[in-house]
């Protein structure tokens, strides 16, 4: 059913029908009501591609899917979806084959120039992220999930990683811990850097020296959590507490501790960052996991919202949201008990 045909059936011109459906004021309410009603009855829907060609809008937001942390990605997208469901806007997932820097830049360039998306969401930015410079230069609307200190203005939404980790670490210090290990995300991303800063500053402000032997970086997997924790715990002067970047890492740490006969919450304290997954909750771990918490899904929803605002004309330079992170104490943290080394 095309517009022309539909209009003829109603005895109106295409112009009037189009206006009625798009909510323009020039058409009387009586006519509009009739058009809308008939559109439903006869099943007329404007052809998306024609609308897009004419209006120049694509109706899609692009997100590039990297290789790492799919589980974060899925939650974020689910959040976006929640917001976009009411709009006529889709999510376009662009796979990234090659994590090399040049290839990545090329991908963003192609994406921006292809006119397949109205805006792009940039994930896991680096401190000096050229993707941001590129998108800015190309004039492609974008939103950064995370932050960068590149000197190009960019709209962003981030959580307070530094503050979160500082509080977590401080709390462990309050409990008497001094040998606190840090299992962070992969080096390079701003969030990992911020967490590192939070960790160091907490230690330093309490006069505790930072021991590079207790810091590790890597993907958020159970496997790496286990390996790092295990190697730390086998050191002669083993850590009595852990700060970890994800739930998966925490699972690995639990396993490592258990494998060495150490009890979580008594022999070893753990605080991890919880991105709030419906299928794995900190409260349900055994013992329940103390965590810094911030909902990845909520971030997705809000990012989608901000992108829509951006497209509606809101100035990019004024969009900066820093979300606080909760610290929730559960059973996995307790006062230090010196290992009998």
Partner DNA sequence: ATATTTTCTCAAATCGATTTCAATTTTGGC
Partner DNA sequence: GCCAAAATTGAAATCGATTTGAGAAAATAT
Binding site for a second copy (CB under 8 A): 43, 45, 47-50, 52-53, 58-60, 65, 67, 69-71, 73-75, 77-78, 80-82, 84-86, 90-97, 110, 113-116, 219-223, 226, 248, 251-252, 255, 258-259, 277-281, 284-286
Considering only 9, 37, 55, 204, the residue that binds DNA (CB under 7 A) is 55
C-beta closer to DNA: residue 52 or 255: 52
Q: Which does 31 bind (CB under 5 to 8 A by kind): DNA, a second copy, none?
A: DNA
CB within 8 A of 24, min separation 6: which ones? none
User: Shortest Cβ distance from residue 46 to DNA (Å)?
Assistant: 4
Residue 219 touches which of DNA, a second copy, none (Cβ within 5-8 Å per kind): a second copy
Measured from the CB atom, the residue of 180 and 268 that comes closer to a second copy is 268
Closer CB to a second copy, 82 or 160, in the complex: 82
Stretch that binds DNA, among 49-57, 209-217, 294-302, 314-322 (CB under 7 A): 49-57
Q: Is 114 in the site for DNA (CB under 7 A)?
A: no
Q: How far is the CB of 52 from a second copy (least distance, A)?
A: 4
Closest distance to a second copy from the beta carbon of 70 (Å)? 4
How wide is the angle at C-alpha 10 spanned by C-alphas 9 and 16, nearest 5°? 125
Under the criterion CB under 7 A, does residue 21 sit at the interface with DNA?
Answer: yes
95, HSE (Cβ side, Cα atoms, 13 Å):
1
Q: In 15-54, which positions are buried (b, 16+ CB within 10 angstroms) versus exposed (e)?
A: ebbbbbbeeeeebeeeebeebeebbeeeebebeeeebeee
φ, ψ (nearest 5 deg) of residue 214: -110, 15
- Taken in order 210, 214, 220, 225, is the CA torsion positive or negative? negative
Beta strand pairing call for 320-323 and 269-274: unpaired
Q: How far is the CB of 34 from DNA (least distance, A)?
A: 9
Give me the count of residues in the chain: 341
Instruction: State the Cα–Cα distance between residues 62 and 206, nearest whole angstrom.
Output: 44
**Minimal distance in Å, beta carbon 33 to DNA?**
11
DSSP tag of 59: -
- Which residues are within 8 A (CB) of 188 and not within 5 positions of it... i.e. 6 or more apart? 126
* 26 counts as binding DNA under rule CB under 7 A: yes
Question: What are the residues binding DNA (CB under 7 A)?
Answer: 2-4, 6, 11-16, 18-19, 21-22, 26-31, 45-47, 50-51, 53-56
């Amino acid at each position: 059913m095309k517009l022309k045909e539909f209009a003829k059936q109603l005895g109106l011109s295409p112009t009037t029908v189009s206006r009625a459906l798009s909510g323009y004021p020039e058409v009387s309410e009586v006519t509009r009501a009739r058009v809308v009603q008939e559109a439903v009855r006869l099943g007329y829907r404007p052809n998306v591609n024609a609308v897009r060609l004419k209006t120049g809008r694509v109706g899609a937001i692009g997100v590039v899917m990297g290789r790492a942390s799919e589980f974060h990605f899925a939650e974020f997208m689910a959040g976006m979806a929640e917001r976009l469901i009411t709009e006529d806007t889709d999510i376009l997932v662009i796979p990234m084959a090659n994590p090399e820097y040049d290839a990545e830049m090329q991908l963003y360039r192609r994406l921006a120039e292809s006119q397949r998306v109205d805006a792009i969401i940039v994930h896991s930015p680096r401190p000096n992220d050229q993707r941001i410079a590129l998108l800015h230069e190309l004039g492609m609307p974008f939103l950064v999930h995370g932050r960068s200190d590149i000197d190009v203005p960019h709209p962003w939404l981030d959580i307070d990683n530094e503050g979160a980790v500082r509080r977590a670490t401080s709390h462990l210090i309050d409990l008497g811990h001094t040998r606190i290990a840090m299992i962070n995300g992969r080096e390079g991303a701003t969030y990992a850097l911020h967490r590192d800063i939070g960790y160091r500053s907490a230690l330093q402000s309490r006069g505790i020296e930072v021991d590079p032997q207790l810091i590790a970086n890597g993907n958020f997997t159970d496997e790496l959590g286990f390996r790092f924790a295990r190697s730390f715990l086998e050191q002669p002067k083993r850590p009595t507490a852990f700060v970890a970047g994800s739930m998966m890492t925490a699972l690995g740490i639990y396993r490592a501790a258990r494998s060495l006969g150490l009890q979580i919450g008594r022999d070893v304290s753990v605080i991890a960052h919880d991105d709030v997954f419906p299928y794995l909750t900190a409260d349900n771990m055994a013992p329940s996991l103390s965590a810094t918490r911030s909902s990845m899904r909520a971030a997705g929803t809000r990012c989608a919202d901000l992108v829509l605002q951006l497209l509606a004309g809101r100035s990019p330079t004024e969009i900066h949201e820093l979300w606080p992170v909760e610290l929730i104490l559960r059973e996995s943290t307790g006062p230090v008990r010196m290992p009998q080394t």
